[in-house]
Amino acid sequence: MCIAFPGKADDKAIMQELDTIQTLSDRNNEEGLRQLLQFKKNLPADVSPAVRLETLSVLSSLYFDAGNTKLGRQTLTELENLAKQVQLKDALLILEIYDAYNIFEKSGFATAVAHLEKMADKVANSDNINAQFRYRATLAAFYSSNFRFDQALKQYLDMLKLSDQLPRRQMQAKMATWGLISGLYLQMKDPEKALTATTEALAVSSSSIAPKAFVEISISRGVALSSLKRNDEALKEYESALRVAKEEKLPYMVALALFNIADQYLIKKDYKRAEAYAREAMAKSESMDDTWGVAGAKVNLGLALGYQGKVKQGGDLVKESIAHFDKNHAKSDVETIIGELSHMYEAAGWYKEALEQVRQQQKLSDEIFQSDRAKAVAALQEEFDSEQRKRQIEILAKDNALKDADIKNHRLKQMVALLASLVGIFGGCFIYMLYRRSKKLNAQLQEVNTQLEFHAVRDALTGLHNRRSFINLMVNRTGRVENERREGAYRNPDCMVLMDIDHFKNINDTWGHAIGDVVLKEVATRLKNVVRDEDMVMRWGGEEFLIYSPKSNPEQITSLVERVLKTIGDKPFTHGAVTIPVTVTAGFISVPFSDVPEEFCDWERALQIADMALYLGKTHGRNRAYGLARLLVPHEDALPTLTHDLAAAIRDNMVEIIEVIGPPQDLAPITVSGYHAANQA
C-alpha cells in the first residue's frame, strides 16, 4: 500500500518508498504501476523536484514495460517540461544526453554522435553517477548501430564499473548492462561470446530476486543458443522466461517469450506448436495494443499455417506484417521476412510465388545496400572536415568489411564494382586503409574482450568461489546429469545448502565493518574445513554463503547441515579482545528434488525453494536449518504452491520438512542502542 506522506516532505523516506514500488514492478508490473500512480498522486506539494523527476522517470519505464507506448511518451514529455521549468542541473544534463536521439532524427548519425562526444568533458566533470551511466549507454547505442563495435563495448565495460556506484538499483543496472553486451555480440554474429555475457548476468542475481532482468537475460540466452543450433536448450531458456514472466505478471515479457517460442518451434519444424504459441503471442500483444508485437506474431503464425498446407491463408498474414514493417521504414526486417515467405512458398510447391518473393527480396537488398553506401559516402563528404575525414574513412572501411560477410553470392559482383569505383576515387589508398582498419579493429576487439575477465571467479575477501563460478558450473551441468541418470546415479542427487549469518547487520553496527569482514573470513574458513574435497563452497553475496555438494544421499545432506550449524555456532568468534557469538540459518534441498525431472524443477527453482526454507528458519528463531525431504503429493500439484509459498505447502501437507537445530547459545543476543536484535533480519 502506498504511503500518504503526511506533513513536511521527507525526500529520503519518499525515495525509499519509490524504490519499494519499483522493486515490486520488477515482479508485478500491473500492481507496481497501480501503486506508482497512487504514489505520484499523494506526493506532498513541498517534495523536491528531484523526487518528482525520478518518479516520472520510473513511471514512463513502467508504461513502456506494460506495452503502453503512448502514455510512456506522454510521461517523458512531462518529465522534460518539469526539468526545464525547475532548471535542475543533473536532470538537464540527462536531457541533453537524450537529445542525441532528436538530433539523430533531424540530422543523422554523425551529428548526433558529434553532439555526444562534445559532451564528454561535461559528463566527466559531473559528480552525478546516474548521468555518467546513461551517457555511456546512449553513446554505446549509437556506436553499435553504426558498427563501431569496439567503441560500444568499451562504453559497456565502463557502465559495469559505474554500476557499483549508482545510488539505486545497482544489481538491476549490472544485469541490464551484461544483457546489452550480449546483444552487441549477437549483432557482431558472435553467439559464443553473447552466451558468455548472459552467464555473467546470471551470476549477478536470479529470477527470485530480479525476475524482469532474469526474463530479458533468458531470452538473450535463447537467441544465442538458437544461433549456435542448440535448439532444445534455446527452447528451454524461452520456456523458463515465459514461466517467470507469467508468474510475475510482466505482460510485455510474456508476449516476447511467446514470440520466441513460436519462432523456435518453426526452426524445429513443429508447426502445430508454432501456430499455438504464435496465436497466444498475437493475442497478448493485441491486449496491450502493441502493433509491432502483433506484426511479429503474425509472421510466425502465417509461416506455421503455410507449412501446414494453409498456404494462401498463411501467406496473406505474412504479407500483412510486411506491409506494417514497410510502412514503418523497417526495410531490413522486410527483407528478412520476404526471404522466409519465399522459403515457405517453395516448400509448398508454389514456385511462381516463391520466385516473385525472391525477386522482391533481391530488389530490396540492392536498395538497402545502395542506400547505406550512399549515406556513408555522403557523411564522408559533407559532414566532416579534413581533420575528421580519416576517422570516417576508417568507419566506412569497417562498414564495408562487415557487410561483405553478409552479402549473398548474387550480390558479390555489385560489391566488387562499387569498391572498384571507390578505389578510383581515393587513388588506391582506400583498400590499404581497409586492411589496416580491419587489422586494427581485430586487435582492439581482442584487447577489449580480455577486459571482460575483470570479474574473478573467486571472492576477493574470503577467497571462496563466487556466484559466477557456480553459474558457470550449472550452465554446463545438463549433459553431465543426463549421463549420470543413464548410469543409475539418479538416487544420489546433488545438494545445495544456502545459509545466512544471523544478525550480521548488528555485528557491523556494533563493532564496525572491519570486524564484520573478519567474521565473513572466519565463516569461510570454518565452512571449508567442514565440507568434502569435492564440495564447492562459495560466497553467494553479502553475508550469504552456499555449499554445493554433488552426489549426496539424504543422510549425508542432514549430517552436512548439522556439521555446518555446529561448526559456526559452537564456538564464538574472537578478534583481539572482542568475542562475537555467530550463528547461521540455512535452507537446503537436493537436485533433482524428490525424483522430480529437472525440466519441472531445475537447480534455479530448487535454489529459490531453499531460499524460502532459509527465510522460514529466520521466522522460527534462527540458528537452525529447514530442508525439504520429499514431496507428499504429485509434483504437478505441489510445485505451483511450493515455488511461491513454502509455508502454505507445508500447511497443506504437500512436502515433508527436515528441521536441524543449531547448538545452544550461552551469550545473550546482540543489542544496539537498546534495540533488540531479534527484530533485525
- By annotation, the residues acting in catalysis are 543
Query: Residue 146 phi/psi, 5° resolution?
Result: -115, 25
CB atoms within 10 A of CB 584: 28
The CA distance from 375 to 379, in Å, is 6
Q: DSSP string spanning 210-252?
A: -HHHHHHHHHHHHHHHHHTT-HHHHHHHHHHHHHHHHHTT-HH
221-225 contact pairs (CB < 8 A, 24+): 221/182, 221/195, 222/260, 222/264, 223/186, 223/191, 223/194, 223/260, 224/182, 224/185, 224/186, 224/191, 224/192, 224/194, 224/195, 224/198, 225/191, 225/195
Q: DSSP string spanning 187-204?
A: HTT-HHHHHHHHHHHHHH
Q: How many residues does the chain have?
A: 681
The residues facing 497 across adjacent strands are 547, 588
Spatial strand order in the sheet of 655-661:
536-541, 544-549, 494-501, 584-591, 624-631, 655-661
Q: Which three cell numbers stand for residue 127?
A: 559528480
Collapsing DSSP states into helix, strand and coil, what is residue 655?
Answer: strand
Query: Residue 593 phi/psi, 5° resolution?
Result: -95, 125
The CA distance from 3 to 212, in Å, is 25
Residues 6 or more apart whose CB falls under 8 angstroms from that of 47 comprise 5, 9, 11, 14
- Report the relative pairing of strands 675-676 and 624-631 from DSSP bridges: unpaired
Report the 3 state secondary structure along 525-590: HHHHHHCCCCCEEEEEECCEEEEEECCCCHHHHHHHHHHHHHHHHCCCEEECCEEECCCEEEEEEE
Handedness of CA 255, 258, 262, 264 (dihedral sign): positive
The CA distance from 5 to 562, in Å, is 47
Residues 6 or more apart whose CB falls under 8 angstroms from that of 559 comprise none
The CA distance from 115 to 190, in Å, is 30
Q: Where do we find the cell 527436515?
A: 658
CA-to-CA dists, residue 578 to 375, 512, 575, angstroms: 71, 12, 5
The CA distance from 393 to 399, in Å, is 10
Query: Residue 448 phi/psi, 5° resolution?
Result: -70, -35
Residues 6 or more apart whose CB falls under 8 angstroms from that of 388 comprise none
546-552-557-561 Cα dihedral, nearest 10 degrees: -40
Query: Residue 590 phi/psi, 5° resolution?
Result: -100, 155
Residue 17 CA to its chain's centroid (Å): 24
Collapsing DSSP states into helix, strand and coil, what is residue 492?
Answer: coil
The CA distance from 18 to 53, in Å, is 12
